């Protein structure tokens, strides 16, 4: 019996809402807007949907979020779940939804996620979120916020491999270069390495432009079986591989600060897909802070451990580079509405693989890797997507 998901499920619809500062529109409204648009993109009606996945919103939390969303949509799914895995929520739940389709628990699943981190939280509420992430006994008493935890990773990489602030800054520059080509991105003005280093220090060595945006917005996709996808409106984008990796919850318990469980997640996704890092035409890598991308590049096999800085300096991540990364602009320049942030990397990958990313289109892409992580480099999921099922 073939237990692999390779090529059995496809993405057939994708949609984003506007992003940025969207006052007067709740996370529920944004999520439903994205869901309905993705359903329309797939050429379906909402009554065709029998599976629904959401994630809870920090700005509008609900005890039964997915069920509340289904109620709002007036659909009555037989598969319904709200996922919670931090920033990796989007990708960790995709293979669960794909498994539901492969095992007959649902035929057509919508994954819709939204939040209003920019306009829906007060400054005090936002700071409480930042400060409450760490271990309540071993981390929080010392006062660090989320940027400080990622700064710790950056400092460790600098100490072990000689990585420089300029190399981290190059990641922000590359993401902005992609965003400049994307009319939907929140920040589109080109920046230089000097601009990053001249922006105010947040947590040494991370400057303001090393840190992701804070945004409102929502995004959604539609999944169905490969057999059904063959007869649908849009060209199917197949799930070829999926893998997870989990190393810790709190950074004080991390096994290693410069190698993450992205390594295991990537290895498992590539093994299922039968492909290698060299087969990827582009990648979408979780970029809550610039050092995150550098560690992921190494752990996912795009360069050797310790060589991430040089890889960035080579220009590989840029629009005309050997591995365009975060072709929509990423969390650093497109948007970051919290847990749903990586949804936009997924919809962008669909449009790239369809050949519909006007103005920023990668030339003739066939395969892509998308990766996200939750916590402080804690829980990782990698997906390999492709235009052909086998």
CA angle 279/280/285 to nearest 5° reads 150
Give me the phi and psi of 282, to 5 degrees please.
-160, 170
**Which residues are registered as beta bridge partners of 379?**
246, 374
> Phi-psi region for residue 254, left (φ > 0), alpha (ψ -120 to 50) or beta?
beta
Task: Centre a 10 Å sphere on the Cβ of residue 155 and count the other Cβ atoms it contains.
Answer: 17
Q: Taking a C-beta distance cutoff of 8 angstroms, is the pair 327, 348 a contact? A: yes
369: β partners:
283, 384
d(CA 260, CA 258): 7
Tell me phi and psi for residue 65, to 5 degrees.
-65, -45
> ω into residue 60 within 30 of 0, thus cis?
no
Dig out the tokens for 326 from the structure: 């975060």
Contact between 243 and 381 (Cβ < 8 Å): yes
Alpha-carbon distance 294 to 315, whole Å?
A: 13
Tell me, what's the pLDDT at 85? 60
Tokens of 77: 């799914």
The answer to whether residues 87 and 143 touch, using CB atoms and an 8 Å cutoff, is: no
Cα 117 from Cα 20, distance rounded (Å): 10
> 278: which 2 tokens?
């060299």
Cα-based torsion angle of the residue sequence 227, 233, 239, 245 in order, rounded to the nearest 10 degrees: -130
Residue 259's pLDDT is what?
Answer: 97
Query: pLDDT tens per residue, the chain (390 residues)?
Result: 567 899 999 999 999 999 999 999 999 999 999 999 999 999 999 999 999 999 999 889 889 999 999 999 999 999 999 988 677 778 889 999 999 999 999 999 999 999 999 998 877 777 777 767 788 888 888 888 899 999 999 999 999 999 999 999 999 999 999 999 999 999 999 999 999 999 999 999 999 999 999 999 999 999 999 999 999 999 999 999 999 999 999 999 999 999 999 999 999 999 999 999 999 999 999 999 999 999 999 999 999 999 999 999 999 999 999 999 999 999 999 999 988 999 999 999 999 999 999 999 999 999 999 999 998 999 999 999 999 988
Domains of the chain: 9-121+215-229 (3.40.47.10), 145-213+243-386 (3.40.47.10)
Write down the pLDDT at residue 145: 87
**Residue-level pLDDT at 1:** 52
Question: Are 250 and 138 in contact, with CB atoms under 8 Å apart?
Answer: yes
Q: How far apart are CA 308 and CA 285, in angstroms?
A: 13
Q: What is the pLDDT of residue 143?
A: 84
User: How far separated are the first and last CA of the chain, in Å rounded?
Assistant: 17
CB 23 within 8 A of CB 52: no
User: The whole model's pTM is what?
Assistant: 0.95
Tokens coding 274: 């039968």
Provide the 3-class DSSP secondary structure of residue 149. helix
């Amino acid at each position: 019996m073939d237990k692999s998901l390779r090529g059995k499920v496809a993405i057939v619809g994708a949609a984003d809402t506007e992003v940025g500062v969207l006052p007067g529109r709740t996370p529920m409204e944004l999520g439903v807007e994205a869901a309905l648009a993705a359903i329309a993109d797939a050429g379906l009606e909402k009554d065709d949907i029998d599976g629904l996945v959401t994630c809870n919103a920090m700005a509008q939390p609900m005890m039964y979020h997915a069920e509340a969303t289904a109620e709002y949509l007036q659909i009555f799914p037989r598969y319904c779940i709200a996922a919670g895995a931090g920033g990796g929520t989007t990708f960790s739940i995709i293979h669960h939804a794909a498994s539901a389709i492969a095992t007959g628990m649902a035929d057509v699943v919508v994954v819709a996620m939204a939040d209003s981190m920019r306009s829906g939280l007060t400054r005090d509420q936002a700071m409480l979120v930042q400060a409450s992430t760490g271990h309540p006994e071993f981390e929080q008493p010392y006062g660090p916020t989320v940027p400080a935890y990622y700064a710790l990773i950056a400092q460790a990489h600098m100490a072990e491999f000689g990585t420089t602030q300029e190399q981290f800054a190059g990641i922000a520059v590359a993401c902005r270069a992609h965003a400049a080509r994307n009319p939907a991105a929140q920040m589109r003005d080109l920046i230089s390495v000097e601009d990053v280093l001249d922006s105010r220090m947040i947590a040494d060595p991370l400057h303001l432009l090393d840190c992701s945006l804070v945004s409102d917005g929502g995004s959604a996709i539609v999944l169905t079986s490969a057999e059904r996808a063959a007869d649908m409106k849009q060209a199917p984008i197949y799930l070829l591989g999926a893998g997870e990796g989990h190393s810790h919850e709190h950074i004080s318990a991390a096994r290693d600060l410069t190698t993450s469980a992205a390594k295991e997640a990537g290895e498992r996704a590539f093994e299922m897909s039968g492909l290698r890092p060299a087969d990827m035409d582009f990648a979408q890598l979780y970029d809550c802070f610039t050092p995150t991308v550098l560690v992921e590049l190494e752990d996912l096999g795009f360069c050797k451990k310790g060589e991430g800085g040089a890889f960035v300096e080579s220009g590989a991540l840029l629009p005309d580079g050997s591995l365009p990364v975060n072709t929509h602009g990423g969390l650093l320049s497109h948007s970051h509405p919290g847990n749903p942030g990586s949804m936009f990397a997924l919809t962008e990958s669909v449009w790239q693989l369809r050949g519909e990313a006007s103005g920023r289109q990668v030339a003739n892409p066939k395969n892509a890797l998308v990766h996200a992580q939750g916590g402080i480099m804690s829980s990782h999921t990698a997906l390999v997507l492709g235009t052909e099922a086998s």
